[in-house]
């Protein structure tokens, strides 16, 4: 059994905003990072795995001893998609990045998730910042697992708009069948979607605040977020990139930074323009029992204050 801080597994597809998110988690004393599991998504799996090792090295001593693992290299059923047009060819567009300090653990990510959760029932939170393939596989391979996790906090979906398609957010679209498995499971799930993450923009002023921290982590994050901003200016006309994945980590650290509404949520699985849409029953018109705590509001300034405070403690 664990006492505070809260034990978590970071599951994601780094990716530059995953990198910022993982640095936030690793620098937060409220969280005890038991391991990091890579999945397909923004990048193909070998790059996601390499980047996981890079981020742990970038975090310095706070990540000493944190193992990382390779997970699923493709979705459950659909063909893979990536987001290199957003994150760059390597996923971490910054100079002077360290190489991983150690090799990945040879165990499979799904086995690590199952073993860790079973060993610590109702203690471990899974923070997912990519497609939910690893977690869905764990839930299918170990049907007892949804009742044994403390919580799944997922950056994915939306109460409305999409970003990869008009209807679907990228992480949901990248493996809609996995998202449906996890959201429809008995596990407690928090969904941090585009409806709140698109309110948290890394403006030029905020990027300069990161650079002004004077440490390597702040400089690297600032460089990556400048790269990210170019896509958001061109695609959305925004002054910077949306802090999707870091907001999900913040939700695990300080859930009070967001407002939550219990909703019935299903994922559209039929091919077509709506594939991957997270259908949120905002007005309970179906009468279905809510299965997800959905973020519907965010304290934007509080979030950025937390991010700057924590990243400032890193080397």
Q: Of 41, 15, 27, give the one whose Cα is nearest residue 308.
A: 27
Q: Which of 40, 87, 108, 244 does the annotation list as catalytic?
A: 244
Active site includes 40? Answer: no
At 133, is the secondary structure helix, strand, or coil? helix
Q: How big is the chain, counted in residues?
A: 315
Smallest CA-to-CA distance from 227 within 74, 19, 60, 56 is with 19
Q: Which residue has the tokens 């397909």?
A: 40
Question: Measured between alpha carbons, how far apart are the two ends of the chain, in Å?
Answer: 31
Rounded CA-CA distance 59/132 in Å is 25
For 9, list phi and psi in degrees, rounded to 5.
-115, 130
Per DSSP, the three-state class of 146 is helix
- Rounded CA separation 32/30 (Å): 7
Cα gap 192→120, rounded to integer Å: 25
Retrieve residue 161's tokens. Answer: 């708009």
Give the residue numbers marked as catalytic. Answer: 244
């Amino acid at each position: 059994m664990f006492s505070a801080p809260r034990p978590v597994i970071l599951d994601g597809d780094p990716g530059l905003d995953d990198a910022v998110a993982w640095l936030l988690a690793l620098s937060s004393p409220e969280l005890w990072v038991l391991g990091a599991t890579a999945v397909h998504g923004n990048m193909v799996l070998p790059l996601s795995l390499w980047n996981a090792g890079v981020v742990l090295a970038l975090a310095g001593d706070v990540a000493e001893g944190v193992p990382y693992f390779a997970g699923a290299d493709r979705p459950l059923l659909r063909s893979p998609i990536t987001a290199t047009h957003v994150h760059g060819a390597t996923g971490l567009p910054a100079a002077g990045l360290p190489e991983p300090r150690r090799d990945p653990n040879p165990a499979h990510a799904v086995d690590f998730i199952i073993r860790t959760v079973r060993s610590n029932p109702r203690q471990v939170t899974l923070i997912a910042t990519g497609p939910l393939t690893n977690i869905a596989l764990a839930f299918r391979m170990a049907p007892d697992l949804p009742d044994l996790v403390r919580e799944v906090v997922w950056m994915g979906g939306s109460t409305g708009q999409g970003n990869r398609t008009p209807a679907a957010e990228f992480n949901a679209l990248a493996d809609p069948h996995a998202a449906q498995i996890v959201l429809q499971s008995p596990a407690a799930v928090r969904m941090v979607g585009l409806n709140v993450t698109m309110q948290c923009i890394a403006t030029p002023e905020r990027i300069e605040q990161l650079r002004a921290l004077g440490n390597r982590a702040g400089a690297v994050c600032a460089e990556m977020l400048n790269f990210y901003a170019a896509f958001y200016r061109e695609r959305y006309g925004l002054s910077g990139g949306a802090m999707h994945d870091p907001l999900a980590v913040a939700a695990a650290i300080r859930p009070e930074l967001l407002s939550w509404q219990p909703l019935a949520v299903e994922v559209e699985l039929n091919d077509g323009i709506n594939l991957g849409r997270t259908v949120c029953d905002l007005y309970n018109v179906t009468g279905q029992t809510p299965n997800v705590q959905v973020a519907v509001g965010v304290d934007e300034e509080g979030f950025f204050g937390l991010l700057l405070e924590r990243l400032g403690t890193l080397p």
